[in-house]
Structure 1
Amino acid sequence: MTDADIGARFAQIRVDVGAATPKAMSDRLGIGENAWREYEKGKGTPSWATLQKLAALGYDLSWLMTGQGHMRRGDNAAMQSVEPEFMGRLVEAVARAHKELGINLPEVRLGHVSAEVLADVFAAAEGPDEYPEQLELMLKRLKRRLKSATEQPGTGKRLA
């Protein structure tokens, strides 16, 4: 495992969060921009407080440090117990969120984004009875990230 590998995982988290730049990510976490830039280079050591913030966002710290396992906590365990109807509603909602903002989402990416939202739901819910409520919260978060990305130039998102 190289420093570059760890740095790439920090960058992957930033992209997953929807932060277009290291500055946006550092602002979100309340840390210095240079600190986050150094993490993405595989240099510097994040404080325990920074690691706790990443864990609170649902990221698996073991994955971050080693590259082993899943990026998000709970990605593996609960995935087997999702109801097909719930998953269908989730995929439709993710597609609708993108369409409302004029973002053309390829089907493969729709699957990726839907899986990420599902992982967030699983990480936040204490059980299946909380899935619908958590889905609504995660969809609101997704819509905010998408809206922010379309409003920031250079994010790679553009209106269709």
Structure 2
Amino acid sequence: MKFALMAAALVSVALPKATLSEPSLKTAHNPPELVDSTQYGYSQAVSVPASARTIYVAGQVGQTVEGPNDFESQVDRSFANLMVALKAAGGAPENIVRITLLIKDYDPEKLAYIGKKRREVFGDSPPASVLIPVTRLYIDEVNFEISAVAVTR
């Protein structure tokens, strides 16, 4: 259970709100014919130039031995873990172009919290997003997982 101990240590990691210190490599596309997904913290499509360096971040979870392990706490730690992995690869929140979210026992309250968290983390630069409800993740105690694709120069 090495992952659980590491996740617990990351509880205090502050998530930076997306701020663009240099021109973004990504361009968000939110056509008026589609719902305004930015209110939920994601874009309908994102494009990047062929010259961009791609970072693939594996699924990150937030379950910990010490707890708490409620859904919101796991989401917060999962996002924190994502940022740690992304930073290690030379990326930042504003570089993320797509996230995939796996939610155990999905319901509208969980969706509302995910929307709030995406807006908090990504601000005015939301990535494309896929949300997949699941009945179980790799162990019963895990309620949420997030993976990402980012681009840098």
| Larger RCO, structure (CA 8 Å, separation 6 or more) | 2
Larger Rg: 1
Which is strand-richer, 1 or 2? 2
